Structure 1
């Protein structure tokens, strides 16, 4: 019993010392996270406009990182909201006979990964929300630089 009492007292002292040390190492709220401003500040990111070009007429911007999904190089006003039953993207991009073939001036066909099988018999329903991965292009500086390999 005496041994347990000594161990309990020692542990209490250790926790008390650690608690006292924690007060001395307080972190200022402008030193938390990636932003070097206060966590209470309201961010005001740079405003931008998506590119306003017709489908198949714009220059494709480089991908954000190696393996990133391609960005949409044209305006998608009127295409959204994209739902399972209303998807204007597949009208041009669902071309099973063109998988793996990119023709300049023509819509890029959806890859085989967007279909339920390797015969491209039907679109996978988990892929209908195109803008979940593919975003409209905008020329903006990233809020935070990434460390992924850049596309060359």
Structure 2
């Protein structure tokens, strides 16, 4: 291809890009983000929302957002935080041996497996799993910040309330 043709094509492409960008709407810094205020000061209003005030055992189970998603905490965590290795109120109800007796959701098998070393811990919780609220969050009664029409597609009948992550983790790998 000669230089003249390359130059003409480049000008045409730049012209198309320029004309295409003319219809784009620009936004001020006050319109960016979810908080809809300037990004240059930190005087944001923080709303007080009602996190589920029900105590553990009195609340309704919240379905998972997608297959093997960490479940939401459907009850108040007041008095349960902070969680440490030596002080974890969650395990007093959610360890498999206890959960069924108290009607709680049992921790899945994946919490008793060391993925770093590929070792089944034979019923002992993996030390990296002690801080439950890293993955599990409490549900709040608040309006959605953005619209969402996502619909989960669960492959197993009880996938909206149970995990099978350890069973399917390497699915499709050889």
- Which ranges in structure 1 are unaligned for 5 or more consecutive residues? 1-25
- Alignment check: 8 A CA contact 1:50 1:137 kept: yes
- Alignment check: 8 A CA contact 1:49 1:138 kept: yes
TM-score for both structures, normalised by structure 2: 0.56
2:143 aligned with 1:141, yes or no?
Answer: yes
**Aligned pair in 2 of structure 1 residues 72, 35: CA closer, same or farther (>3 Å)?**
closer
| Count of residues in correspondence between the two structures | 122
Question: 1 CA distance for matches of 2:140 and 2:76?
Answer: 10
TM-score for both structures, normalised by structure 1: 0.63
2:78 aligned with 1:77, yes or no?
Answer: yes
- Alignment check: 8 A CA contact 1:66 1:148 kept: no
1:95 offset after TM fit, Å?
1.2
2:123 aligned with 1:107, yes or no?
Answer: no
- Alignment check: 8 A CA contact 2:83 2:89 kept: yes
- Alignment check: 8 A CA contact 1:50 1:75 kept: yes
The residue aligned with 2:126 is 124
1:28 offset after TM fit, Å?
3.1
1:60 offset after TM fit, Å?
2.1
**Aligned pair in 2 of structure 1 residues 142, 104: CA closer, same or farther (>3 Å)?**
farther
- Alignment check: 8 A CA contact 1:61 1:71 kept: yes
Alignment of 1:3-152 (within 5 A): 28-40=28-40, 42-63=43-64, 65-67=65-67, 68-95=69-96, 106-116=103-113, 117-118=119-120, 120-146=122-148, 148-150=150-152
Rg (Cα) greater in structure: 1
- Which ranges in structure 2 are unaligned for 5 or more consecutive residues? 1-25, 114-118, 154-159, 161-174
